[in-house]
Structure 1
């Protein structure tokens, strides 16, 4: 079940240091509905029954909790990219602070996993339609966007692929930092 996958993948991202107890969010598209992690909940402790179903206008259609404060971003992405079935938003620190220095081709296999380059979105207030539209626009031609001072958004045709893309960006950030430390360029 997709609900169980969302809970498990979130746990993995948390254990790998890409989110904090309350940060980040994951969603999956199910036809005209989106199943998304709730806001203000310790996400590594979520159960499938804690997830929230919203329509593409953000109205809750199932669930006891409020959807993620970034539901607008998820909905905007799904509207813009009908090929996307999953959205993962992490708060990984290194990609966030190194946003404009990361090169998608730094590691040979990274470009193939990412399916293209990495978009960078300027700092915009979280949870707003302005941010949602900026990220959806950035992801029109990319599968990963780094929101400066905020985090990473990765999309894919499956939850596994979206999570993998978020992890690849984190690996690229680590490689970028190593290159900087070793004096290998900007």
Structure 2
């Protein structure tokens, strides 16, 4: 393989963006891009503010390291599981935002409540079953709960968002955290009124087929 510096630079760029947005603290969270059967992923336990393109690790879809002197993220199985099963996904951002993490502790899903979330993320945003971080069990549980959506909340853990590219995955992260906050605040007031299921399906389909720019 030939190391793609542009891809590695993009991963570093978004690592800093999610850190500056407050979606993760310290060395937690991980980001990857899938390109030509190779996964470019952030290293394990390495501060985002010190990260350089040459620090990004490259592995194949079986997890074999092909480039880099550092260890890949401990959540590599999660990334492999998603890329192996979602051919429409080329980027993954895993973070630990406050409201999304609260959702991961308290409910099994966020129903369709706001239109942008339904369109960008999916009709019902699910929380995966708990498993130890970095395990294949967590990876499989996450993929099951993700389904064809663009986000999944990891039980007692955090948030995973996916997209065709890192920009799309980051927008999904922003919308998921905002939706989590809206849902939590709405529940404080009373009963949450859901978007009718038939309308939610129309909204999601419209986004995927006509609203979203190719």
Give yes or no for contact 1:29–1:85 (8 Å, CA) kept in 2: yes
Secondary structure in structure 2 of the residue aligned to 1:109: helix
Give yes or no for contact 2:108–2:126 (8 Å, CA) kept in 1: no
Give yes or no for contact 2:142–2:152 (8 Å, CA) kept in 1: yes
- Structure 2 residue aligned with 1:185, among 173, 179, 191? 191
- Structure 2 residue aligned with 1:108, among 102, 115, 134? 115
Distance 1:11 1:91, change over 3 A: same
Equivalents in 2 of 1:104, 1:18: separation in Å? Answer: 22
Q: What CA RMSD, in Å, does the superposition of the two structures yield over aligned residues?
A: 1.6
Compare the two structures and name the one with the higher helix fraction: 2
Query: Once superposed, which parts of structure 1, at least 4 consecutive aligned residues long, lie more than 4 Å away?
Result: none
Matched residue, 2:36: 31
Q: Which moved more, 1:66-75 or 1:130-139?
A: 130-139
Matches within 5 A, 1:112-127: 112-127=119-134
Matched residue, 2:210: none
TM (norm. structure 1) is 0.92
What is the Cα deviation at residue 138 of structure 1? 2.1
Unaligned runs of 5+ in 2: 1-5, 193-214
Unaligned runs of 5+ in 1: none
Does residue 66 of the first structure (1) align with residue 59 of the second (2)?
Answer: no
TM (norm. structure 2) is 0.81
Give yes or no for contact 2:122–2:150 (8 Å, CA) kept in 1: yes
What is the Cα deviation at residue 96 of structure 1? 1.6
Matched residue, 1:95: 100
Distance 1:3 1:25, change over 3 A: same
| Number of residues of Structure 1 aligned to a counterpart in Structure 2 | 185
Does residue 172 of the first structure (1) align with residue 179 of the second (2)?
Answer: yes
Q: Which moved more, 1:95-104 or 1:18-27?
A: 95-104
Matched residue, 1:80: 85
1:15-52 deviation digits (Å, cap 9, x = unpaired): 11110111000000011110000001002331111100
Find the structure with the greater CA-based Rg. Answer: 2
What is the Cα deviation at residue 133 of structure 1? 1.2
